[in-house]
Amino acid sequence: MEIKITKTSTPKAKPTGKLGFGKVFTDHMFMMNYTEGKGWHDARIVPYEKITLDPSAMVFHYGQEMFEGLKAYMGADGKARLFRPDMNAKRTNATNKRLCIPQLPEEDFVEAVRAVVEVDKDWIPTEDGTSLYIRPFIIATDEFLGVAPSKTYLFIIILSPSGAYYESGLAPVGIWIEDDYVRAVKGGIGFAKTGGNYAASLAAQVKAHDDGYSQVLWLDGVERKYIEEVGAMNIFFKIDGKIITPMLSGSILPGITRDSVLQLCRNWGLEVEERKISVDELITAQKEGRLEECFGTGTAAVISPVGKLRYKDDVMLINNNEIGEISQKLYDTITGIQWGKIEDENKWTLLV
């Protein structure tokens, strides 16, 4: 893939002070078009700017779109690294397949990410816990109001220097187990990274926020009994010394951090289970003092300890609302690999 690069003549000032999440954007973005019969074409890096679309563009009406999320990290050695971008490329195609968006060659996805990060490398923040959040996305652009797969698409990558996803940083968060709304069902689009899943999550999120909780933990959409995942992360529990996470059932996102955590825990010799886990099992384990830790995993959230889980009238306090031993070790190991401070035995990072 050949990428035409046009650099901005008016670079913006870099942010100063504490970085939030996803509010500031860099000087450049990657763009590429898809046209039926021609394939993906016109790969280019251009100055960051607004895009113009016809009001009839299909993405606005039926939500045919996908997105990804990964990060670039500036290492202590001055080298910029990406974390498992090949996994994002694979997940892009899994999402695309479900949404009738054309496949994107995995090597082109990775090269597009690498190239745009290289152009805006001096935007990768260096303060502790910060990184350059990368948001690739594809939208359907046909000017047509019929319900059908679009014949044209736009693939864009934007970059955002970011700090912690939760304002509380690594301090444990409170999570609301939702007992009314559901997010996804098997056979639907729960495993795909697409806007509709997030639009469907907002009503419950607002309710949880109003009650002082950071995010929603979803239950399965059929029996409303089994734990699925959190709004922007997968979920893990440590019960009786075992690391337990819901299995990939088709209705939850196959998280890349989830996969990394499973591999690390297995390498450390911990007992790991990917299986169905019911909210009743959790409540019982908590009452009997066997629910030792709970944490969420995600690109934006990294490892996010959960100190409190609410389900109807039950409020479960976990590990005294403190960071657990495994959560801390996972956070230190994963961020250590990402920042080039720990040897990357699994070959997870790619130098930019």
Q: Which residues bind ligand PLP (CB under 6 A)?
A: 69, 229, 232-234, 253, 255-258, 297-299
Which residues are CB-neighbours of 345 under 8 A, at least 6 positions away? none
Please check whether residue 109 is in contact with residue 122, taking contact to mean a CB–CB distance below 8 angstroms.
no
Q: Tokens 């956070």 appear where?
A: 331
CB of 188 to ligand COI, least distance (A): 18
Please check whether residue 227 is in contact with residue 278, taking contact to mean a CB–CB distance below 8 angstroms.
yes
CB of 184 to ligand PLP, least distance (A): 9
CB of 278 to ligand PLP, least distance (A): 20
Strand, helix or coil for residue 120:
coil
Q: Which is nearer to ligand PLP, 257 or 349 (CB)?
A: 257
Q: Which is nearer to ligand PLP, 141 or 234 (CB)?
A: 234
Distance, CA of 190 to CA of 63 (rounded, Å): 14
What separation in angstroms does the CA of 210 have from each of 166, 176, 201, 277, 282? Answer: 16, 11, 15, 27, 24
Q: Which is nearer to ligand PLP, 119 or 253 (CB)?
A: 253
Distance, CA of 321 to CA of 173 (rounded, Å): 8
Q: Which is nearer to ligand PLP, 58 or 246 (CB)?
A: 246
Q: What tokens were used for 304?
A: 């996010």
Q: Which is nearer to ligand PLP, 150 or 214 (CB)?
A: 214
Please check whether residue 303 is in contact with residue 297, taking contact to mean a CB–CB distance below 8 angstroms.
yes
Q: Which does 229 bind (CB under 5 to 8 A by kind): ligand COI, ligand PLP, none?
A: ligand PLP
CB of 137 to ligand COI, least distance (A): 10
Please check whether residue 245 is in contact with residue 237, taking contact to mean a CB–CB distance below 8 angstroms.
yes
Please check whether residue 117 is in contact with residue 159, taking contact to mean a CB–CB distance below 8 angstroms.
yes
- Residue 157: enclosing H or E segment and its boundaries? strand 152-162
CB of 302 to ligand PLP, least distance (A): 9
Distance, CA of 201 to CA of 82 (rounded, Å): 29
> Which residues sit opposite 140 in a β-bridge?
153
Strand, helix or coil for residue 173:
strand
Q: Which is nearer to ligand COI, 184 or 232 (CB)?
A: 232
Q: Which is nearer to ligand PLP, 26 or 260 (CB)?
A: 260
CB of 229 to ligand COI, least distance (A): 11
Please check whether residue 51 is in contact with residue 11, taking contact to mean a CB–CB distance below 8 angstroms.
no
- Interface positions with ligand COI (CB under 6 A): 69, 232, 298-300
* Pairing between β-strand 70-74 and β-strand 80-83 as defined by DSSP bridges: antiparallel
Q: Which is nearer to ligand COI, 66 or 140 (CB)?
A: 66
CB of 276 to ligand PLP, least distance (A): 17
Q: Tokens 């997968």 appear where?
A: 234
CB of 67 to ligand COI, least distance (A): 7
